Amino acid sequence: MTLKSAWRFTLHRLFFGDMLLNWFLGGLLTFFPSPVDRLMGQAPLLTMGIYRLIGVGFLAFAAWQTWCIARQRLGPAGLVFAALMAEGPVVLLTIALVFMDFPLRPVARVALWVGDVYMLFLGAWYLFLARWLAKEGPVQPQETG
């Protein structure tokens, strides 16, 4: 895999797919917090304001991802930011799942762990690619063709 192909794969597949997921989750948590809460387990797990706050965070990050994709630019700084936006919730969600006794449905608990592992590996990939780009130089948008 070349740097150019890794960057293109990241921007057009991983980053794009993650952006769609973030728009979906953000909308769901922001506009339908009560059904999400009931779906996850024995309600209420969190206050509706917390769900909405998390949802707005997803929407803000998805908007930034959309802007990056539209510009066809994602350099080392953007990748590090994206990695931090993935790894920060990994730490918080892991602590919540391991140390807090939320009455979650088994399917919800598994889904949260899968999401946690997904974010862990996604953030690690973003950091790897950021380092590679910083070392080798940027991929020009016109080269993405």
The 10s digit of each residue's pLDDT in 57-108 is: 999 999 999 999 999 999 999 999 999 999 999 999 999 999 999 999 999 9
Alpha-carbon Rg for the chain in angstroms: 17
Does residue 144 or residue 125 have the better pLDDT? 125
Enter the pTM of the model: 0.91
Q: Is the pLDDT of residue 142 over 70?
A: no
Rounded distance between C-alpha atoms, residue 117 and residue 87, angstroms: 10
Q: Is the pLDDT of residue 40 over 90?
A: yes
Mean of pLDDT values over 44-65: 96
Chain mean pLDDT for the chain: 94
pLDDT score recorded for residue 143: 45
CB within 8 Å of 138: residues ≥ 6 apart: 75
